[in-house]
Amino acid sequence: QVQLVESGGGSVQAGGSLKVSCAASGVSAYIFGHCAMGWDRQAPGKERELVSSINSEGTTSYAESVKGRFTISRDKAKNTVHLQMNSLQTDDTAVYYCVSAGGYYCEGWGQGTQVTVSS
């Protein structure tokens, strides 16, 4: 199965930008290319929610709360997925998890990376 490791979290003031990345290992680039990838987040006291996803064909989707501010992308050759977050708000503070799906070898999630947005 795929193993996922996030990086790039941190602290930023409201209105700022951060980019979080996810590196996949344990599967070939061919298999990774067929996995649907996404980013979940969980804020303290709130349920985990899907923020954005990208399928094997590059079709993307976003939660309403982040549309126009976040951009997901993937590099199949490098087995990586990125989430560029602009115009960050305090409500974006959460642990962000990289997730993958689409069959046994694609099922996985990372340990998470903290994103903190201060006012």
Evaluate if residue 103 carries a pLDDT over 90: no
- Count CB atoms within 10 A of the CB of residue 99: 22
Contacts of 62 (CB under 8 A, 6+ apart): 51, 52, 70, 72
Q: pLDDT tens-digit profile of 11-39?
A: 999 999 999 999 999 999 899 999 999 99
Contacts of 30 (CB under 8 A, 6+ apart): none
Which pLDDT band holds residue 8 (cuts at 50, 70, 90)? very high
pLDDT at 1: 85
Q: pLDDT tens-digit profile of 35-85?
A: 999 999 999 999 999 999 999 999 999 999 999 999 999 998 899 999 999
Average pLDDT over residues 90-96: 98
- Asked if residue 113 lies in contact with residue 4, where contact means CB atoms within 8 angstroms, the answer is no
pLDDT at 79: 94
- Asked if residue 53 lies in contact with residue 36, where contact means CB atoms within 8 angstroms, the answer is yes
- CB burial readout 22-45, b (16+ within 10 A) else e: bebeebeeebbebbbbbbbbeeee
Q: What is the torsional sign of CA 71, 76, 78, 80?
A: positive
pLDDT at 106: 92
Please state, for a pLDDT cut of 90, what percent of the chain lies above it: 90
